Structure 1
Amino acid sequence: MNDYVIDCQNLETAYTASLHRPILNGINCQIQPGEFVVLLGLNGAGKSTLLRSLVGLVPIVRGTIQINGVTMNPRTLTTIRRDIGMLFQGGGLIRQLSAIENVLCGRLGTRTTWQTLWGFGQRDRLLALKLLEEMGLKEQAYQKTAQLSGGQQQRVAIARALIQSPQILLADEPITGLDIIAAQQVMQTLAKLHSQQGMTIISVLHDLGIAAEYAQRAIVLEAGRIIYDGPCHNLQDHFSPS
């Protein structure tokens, strides 16, 4: 048995007429526990598709995905998802709800229908408040999400993912549309989760400089294939215009 937390073998998606090829076209990669990995590449390269395939949001027509030694299929998907937190582009929050209510939504997948009808208990609420405080959002806990800045909303989304106690955090373009300060705050939060909690983090990014500053390893995709898999510190040398 290997020690990989994620093991992808020969992943291929369905043929896409607009691209004249599969979005993923023979992807092989392994990720160790506790790595901070960024997925890079131009639009249409397959970055977000690869990330979403790791939680079964994109169907794979060929190849296998193993998470913590469990092969992904319809029967194992629920079990696999318990170990994974997902941070969507733009946060994916419900803007009419408060910050704490959005965080508590992260608990819905672990509750029965009857438990959901009775609402959330004191333990869940205290945990949600603690996570928001760790995100620097204690004062905004009961504000509607629509009233928060983009960076604050993304940190609420991180807290919502963390309330699941995931081993792995997947972040799909978590800083898109944010100003420089907000983007730095979000990336620093991810880096802290990695360094202090040993969390495995995989994030889709566009900026080589930010990738080099915060992550350990980069996987660069082009036309559905991996063209680079290695350290982040020399990305500029490999991919900057000459």
Structure 2
Amino acid sequence: MFRLKNVTRRFGERVAVDNVTFDIPQGQMVGVIGRSGAGKSTMLRMINRLADPSEGTIHFNDIEVSSLRGSALRNWQRDCAMIFQQFNLVPRLDVLTNVMLGRLNHRSTILSLLSIFSNDERIMAIAALERLGIEQTALQPAGTLSGGQQQRVAIARALMQNPKMLLADEPIASLDPLNAKIVMDALRDINEREGITVVTNLHTLDTARAYCERIIGMSGGRVVFDGPSRELDAEAVRTIYGTGSDGAEIDERVTSTAIRNPARQDNEPDNDKESASPTPLALAGL
């Protein structure tokens, strides 16, 4: 069980997150929605402890996450992996090394500084890339990949942490509809196969409904909706987003990520993949 209790975050006089309380059982996939500035990203950063609460507590089972320091905090950030909108890869490093960086909190500082990775870690990284369908990019510099490919590399790196919880901060905000679907499919697969709790901030209501069993809506730093996706009706949307400047209802089509013709035959090429690639086992030196 994961729990936020009366969590508040202030930046000077501004309250970014205001007295938020909720529980998340292990294995849920939760979408957090709301206008820009509603407090979604700040809340995720507090969960991962990239930001500290001004008030309140954060617990994971019997661990008070909000009070962790030193090695205990690093262990939590290993167990609570974070995926960012801007990927946070090292562009000049190859994809395989970027993925293996997810093992940094599992190894000694000296080995990490020397970038010495074991064959087992290389095999783990290749398996993660294969799972996400981008193993053929393993030797490319990460900066040469498309946005959708880079986000999948970031997910593979998160998997290398063996996390208990996965946070995704607007993971599809900069992606086209096809790549957005690929990334969300990957997050749902991780949630369903590993039973890992996934909490993701989303701007798109159709995506939240399609992928998340539970939706938390935020407005002005507060939670104003918390329920199953089927209950995200027009009234709930109005509570979360309010109305336009002219008083009209929010048009959900503006946020849609729907693909007009999502079906693709198995023999159609995947334009998001490079054609030339070494074999995965060769990359591991086997």
TM-score with structure 1 setting the length: 0.93
Aligned partner (choices 194, 204, 207) of residue 210 of structure 1: 207
- Name the residue aligned to 1:97: 93
Q: Structure 1 segments of 4 or more deviating over 3 A? A: none
**Whole-angstrom CA distance in 2 between matches of 1:166 and 1:29:** 21
Greater shift, 102-111 or 213-222, is seen at 102-111
Correspondence 1:45-64 to 2 at 5 A: 45-64=38-57
Instruction: Give 3-state SS (helix, strand or coil) of 2:126's partner.
Output: helix
Greater RCO structure (CA 8 Å; 6+ sep): 1
User: For residues 6-45 of structure 1, what are the structure 2 equivalents within 5 Å?
Assistant: 6-17=2-13, 21-45=14-38
Identity of aligned residues (%): 38
1:142 is the counterpart of 2:139: yes
Is 1:228 matched up with 2:225?
Answer: yes
Residues 53-92 of structure 1 aligned to structure 2 (within 5 Å): 53-72=46-65, 73-75=67-69, 76-92=72-88
Do structure 1's residue 125 and structure 2's residue 118 form an aligned pair?
Answer: no
Q: Cα deviations across residues 6-44 of structure 1 (Å, max 9, x unaligned)?
A: 110000112444xxx310110001100000001111111
- 1:59 is displaced (CA, Å) by 1.5
For 1:220 and 1:16, locate their aligned partners in 2 and report how far apart those are by CA, in whole Å.
Answer: 24
Residues 194, 200 of structure 1: 8 Å contact kept: yes
The letter of the residue matching 2:64 is: T
- What are structure 2's unaligned runs of at least 5 residues? 239-248, 251-286
Cα RMSD (Å): 1.4
State the alpha-carbon separation in 1 of the partners of residues 228 and 173 from structure 2.
23
CA distance in 2, matches of 1:112, 1:200: 27
Q: Which amino acid aligns with 1:11?
A: V
* 2: CA distance, partners of 1:176 / 1:112: 35
8 Å CA contact 1:10–1:63 kept in 2: the answer is: yes
Deviations 1:49-80 (A, max 9, x none): 00110111112111000023200213342332
Structure 2 letter corresponding to 1:205? L
User: How many residues of Structure 1 are paired with residues of Structure 2 in the alignment?
Assistant: 235
TM-score (norm 2): 0.79
Judge which range, 128-137 or 115-124, deviates more: 115-124
Structure 1 residues 213 and 168: alpha-carbon distance in aligned structure 2, compared to 1, 3 A threshold: same
Which letter maps to 2:88? G
Query: Partner letter of residue 233 of structure 1?
Result: R
Structure 1 residues not aligned, in runs of 5+? none
- Tell me which structure has the larger Cα radius of gyration: 2
C-alpha separation in 1, matches of 2:30 and 2:186: 15
1:176 matches 2:173: yes
Deviation sequence 1:182-231 (CA, Å, 0-9, x none): 00000000111112221100000001110000110011111111000001
| CA distance in structure 1 between the aligned counterparts of 2:55 and 2:164, rounded to whole angstroms | 26
In the aligned structure 2, how far is the partner of 1:126 from the partner of 1:74?
32
Deviation at 1:118, TM superposition (A): 6.0
**For 1:144 and 1:118, how far apart are their aligned partners in 2?**
16
Aligned to 1:154: 151
Q: Is the 8 A contact 1:12 1:60 kept in 2?
A: yes
Q: CA deviation at 1:111?
A: 1.7
Question: Could you tell me how far apart the structure 1 residues matched to 2:194 and 2:150 are?
Answer: 22
User: 1:91 and 1:133 mapped to 2: Cα distance?
Assistant: 19
Which residue identity is paired with 1:8?
L
